[in-house]
Amino acid sequence: MKVAVYSTRRYDRQMLDRANQQHGHQLVYVQDALTPDTVALAEGCGAVCVFVNDTVDASALRALKALGIGLVTTRSTGFNHVDAAAAQRLGIAATRVTDYSPYSVAEFAVGLLLAVNRRIARASQRTRDGNFELDGLMGFDLHGRTVGVVGTGKIGRIFAAIMRGFGCRVLGHDPFPTSEFVGEYVPLPTLLADSDVISLHCPLTPETQHLINAKSLGEVRPGAYLINTSRGGLIDTEAVIDALKTHRLGGLAIDVYEQEADLFFQDLSATVITDDVIQRLVSFPNVIVTGHQAFFTAEAIGQIMATTLENISAFERGEALHNAIPLPR
């Protein structure tokens, strides 16, 4: 099957080519993101493969339908960038990667927490400059602290288990509690008020959009640290900046950003970044921002590419699509 693969980088091509040896699809790599303006690059293909910051809204889907595209598959677990309802109306199948190494994201969240708490990035930069002073680098022991986990799916549960290993008390909040969670479930206001560290591990939905906002930040224990490796839209960034300025938050570490589509997965080091919000964020000494790399391990990428190609093959064979993107509730 001929497939236009959008938002590709060198590592995407390498891993997809390797996984495609078992499938034999004709993959057409497109470095640009999918938008209504780049839909034409999929002409002659039967499917498109997209990533988290591509625009797969109703307008783009109508244009894809006009080209004869029958399948949109995203090489990600998150699918808020795909209008699944519009795809169904147009008769376009939509699939995702329902499962890949949850350890990749959970371990990275722990790494972000350690890095921002113990000022590891600042310390590394100092020693590169020949400065071995310790002033301004003091953190706190995680042992004995309370960690709140918002979203207790596979990733949240693994993160919670790691924190238990550090000797932390673990609280959780999720509308669908599970006995596999190692901590204690509490209402969200209780979690915010009692936690020294808050880590977000939930999908972006209309209910979770700006879950962390001015009001909820007012309920946070003063000096708490906030970690986000899920979706940028969970956080109202302007409200978080205000909370950092007033010391309501003691630190912030994020691998996702609500306006990341215009920034992430690109080298902008030689350009002027016009996003004033992220420029303000990275100016704080107690903030770490990474470019959506929590999923980026060999194990996770290998599984993502294998599942993506299996989705395409299943569609080509006319089989049931077990990884179909669910419709909005």
Task: Tell me if 173 sits within 8 A of 191, measured CB to CB.
Answer: yes
- What is the structure's pLDDT at 99? 86
- Which tokens is 24 given? 């034999």
Distances (CA, A) of 241 to 107, 230, 236, 295: 25, 19, 9, 26
Neighbouring residues of 141: CB distance < 8 A, sequence distance ≥ 6: none
Neighbouring residues of 89: CB distance < 8 A, sequence distance ≥ 6: none
- What is the structure's pLDDT at 234? 97
Neighbouring residues of 329: CB distance < 8 A, sequence distance ≥ 6: none
Q: Which of 41, 24, 43 is nearest to 33 (CA)?
A: 41
- Which tokens is 285 given? 């000494």
- Which tokens is 40 given? 């034409």
* pLDDT digits (tens), the chain, 329 positions: 999 999 999 999 999 999 999 999 999 999 999 998 999 999 999 999 999 989 999 999 999 999 999 999 999 988 989 999 999 999 999 999 998 899 999 999 999 999 999 999 999 999 999 999 999 999 999 999 999 999 999 999 999 999 999 999 999 999 999 999 999 999 999 999 999 999 999 999 999 999 999 999 999 999 999 999 999 999 999 999 999 999 999 999 999 999 998 899 888 999 999 999 999 999 999 999 999 999 999 999 999 999 999 999 999 999 999 999 998 87
- What is the structure's pLDDT at 139? 95
- What is the structure's pLDDT at 74? 97
Integer Cα distance of 222 and 253 in angstroms? 16
∠ at Cα 29 (203, 322), nearest 5°? 40
Which amino acid belongs to residue 279? Q
Q: Which residues are identified as catalytic?
A: 231, 260, 292
